[in-house]
Amino acid sequence: MNQARMPEIYPDRLRLNDELHARPPVGLWPNEHILYLALVNTSGKRLQEEVIIRDLCDSLGGDSCPTLQGNNIEFDVAVNSDVCQGAPEGLRFRVKYERHGEFSSWWFFQQTESSDLSQPAEFCFNLDKWLHRLPGQVLVALNIRVCHMQQIPAMHEMAARFNQNTLIGSEIAHGAGAAFTDFRIDGNGRSKLVFLNKSMGSRQAGRILQALVEIETYRMMALLSLPEVQESFPVLGQQEKALIEVSKLLATPAESLLTEQSRDLELQQRISGISSAIEALSSRTQFRLSASEAYFQLVQRRITDLQEINISGIQGFGEFMERRLVPAMKTCSTFSLRIRETSHRVSRISQLLQTRVEIAREEQNSKLLASMEERSKHQLHLQQAVEGLSIVAISYYGIGLASYVFKAMKTMGILHDVELATGIATPLVLLAVAMMTRKIRNSFRKA
């Protein structure tokens, strides 16, 4: 039957769908040794990882070695007696690689026949010649012993497997299994985890084991911010102390206006320096703190997934993390809160100081405007006086010219009394000059 032609496919549709199936847990064999590694600083080393996977597969005699295309790859091969001399027939060896956002993980599974917990973690070939080639830096290294048994050994026997260190463990999956560790790193740089399967299916056991491993991995990833936070606390304390000094100076009245203005300018420079230091500190730590918070939430979620039942006399995973991991995370969250509050305080004090500077500037501007207004009044009075004198001067010269005209008219016989004519013309000339001056001044104002 022909299928109807689909519209254009969204480019990332397959990628988004496959995200639900990314990093699936593997089904566990009843008895096996597992080496788990989580390596950080692996960015840009994908090609090197692919070469190692291919070489490892070829050395194990795999028929078809997969190519690393996504963020995870898994292959298993039958144990070759030529590679592992003396190995029982039918056993298998599995390798699983996963690339995460900030780290890469490697799983090496070696199937065994024995369920003896005392059996050392041995693999069918020398892993050491491969492990040093893995790119990145080891953050987590776990030797995991998986055994199928119906009864959980006594706690003193289990503690002996961990050199009498403080034992952490519980029944898991509502009593279908148990897990134990001491969260210690031994002389070989690895931690130990014992995983006992009583009645879990293969896939369920794989999911629970993956949750246990992710608790350890995400715990370490969450703690990556702790050293940086501990180093940054003194720096933050210095900036907080400097901010308190600025606040005290800001609240202290100055002796004079000039002293207050110069002091405010100095405080502005100090606030700018504190703000720059706080912003640099926040930029340097913010990503790591946000990531730590996300990893810590994953740890808590994985602990819930374990479905623990406490064993009398020892701490469970949830209880241990509550007592040991939560305080460290509280330290990180406290630092994050302090740096946010300090940043807000810097912003408020900066705004307050800026307001004071603006008020002082407006006061100066008001005084300057008042001074300019007073000066303009004086100039206006002076201008009016000058205009009055100008009218008198112009009128004087105008009357003088008029007297010459009157004298000429007397000589011609037209006018008999020059003094009378001059006296009559004087107020008229004054009035004409005053009106002309006023008209000129009005025209300047309109312009």
81 and 148 both lie in a single domain:
yes
310 and 194 both lie in a single domain:
no
The last residue of one of the domains, among 181, 202, 222, is 222
SS3 annotation, the chain: CCCCCCCCCCCCHHHHHHHHHCCCCCCCCCCEEEEEEEEECCCCCHHHHHHHHHHHHHHCCCCCCCCCCCCEEEEEEECCCCCCCCCCCCCEEEEEEEECCCEEEEEEEEECCCCCCCCCCCCCCCCHHHHCCCCCEEEEEEEEEEEECCCCCCHHHHHHCCCCCCCEEEEECCCCEEEEECCCCCCCCCEEEEEEECCCCHHHHHHHHHHHHHHHHHHHHHCCHHHHHHHHHHHHHHHHHHHHHHHHHHHCCCCCHHHHHHHHHHHHHHHHHHHHHHHHHHHHHHHHHHHHHHHHHHHHHHHHHHCCECCCCCECHHHHHHHHHHHHHHHHHHHHHHHHHHHHHHHHHHHHHHHHHHHHHHHHHHHHHHHHHHHHHHHHHHHHHHHHHHHHHHHHHHHHHHHHHHHHHHHCCCCCCHHHHHHHHHHHHHHHHHHHHHHHHHHHHHC
290 and 313 both lie in a single domain:
yes
243 and 218 both lie in a single domain:
no
186 and 241 both lie in a single domain:
no
Residue 3 domain-assigned (yes or no): no
158 and 102 both lie in a single domain:
yes
Number of domains in the chain: 3
Residue 2 domain-assigned (yes or no): no
pLDDT at 89: 66
pLDDT at 311: 93
113 and 127 both lie in a single domain:
yes
Residue 56 domain-assigned (yes or no): yes
Residue 5 domain-assigned (yes or no): no
pLDDT at 426: 80
151 and 217 both lie in a single domain:
yes
pLDDT at 358: 80
pLDDT at 55: 81
pLDDT at 167: 94
pLDDT at 332: 94
354 and 412 both lie in a single domain:
no
Residue 33 domain-assigned (yes or no): yes
204 and 65 both lie in a single domain:
yes
358 and 429 both lie in a single domain:
no
Q: What is the extent of the structural domain holding 100? A: 26-222
* Residue-by-residue pLDDT tens, the chain, 447 positions: 456 688 888 888 888 887 777 777 889 989 999 999 999 998 878 788 888 888 887 777 666 666 656 677 888 877 766 656 556 666 788 889 988 889 999 999 988 888 888 877 777 777 777 888 899 999 999 999 999 998 999 998 898 889 889 999 999 999 999 999 999 999 889 999 999 999 999 999 999 999 999 999 999 999 999 999 999 999 999 999 999 988 888 877 766 655 777 787 888 888 889 999 999 999 999 999 999 999 999 999 999 999 999 999 899 999 999 999 999 999 999 999 999 999 999 999 888 888 877 877 777 788 888 888 888 888 877 776 777 777 777 777 888 887 877 778 878 877 777 777 778 778 887 788 778 877 777 777 666
pLDDT at 326: 95
Residue 62 domain-assigned (yes or no): yes
Residue 16 domain-assigned (yes or no): no
The last residue of one of the domains, among 324, 340, 369, is 369
pLDDT at 427: 82
The last residue of one of the domains, among 179, 205, 222, is 222
208 and 234 both lie in a single domain:
no
Residue 138 domain-assigned (yes or no): yes
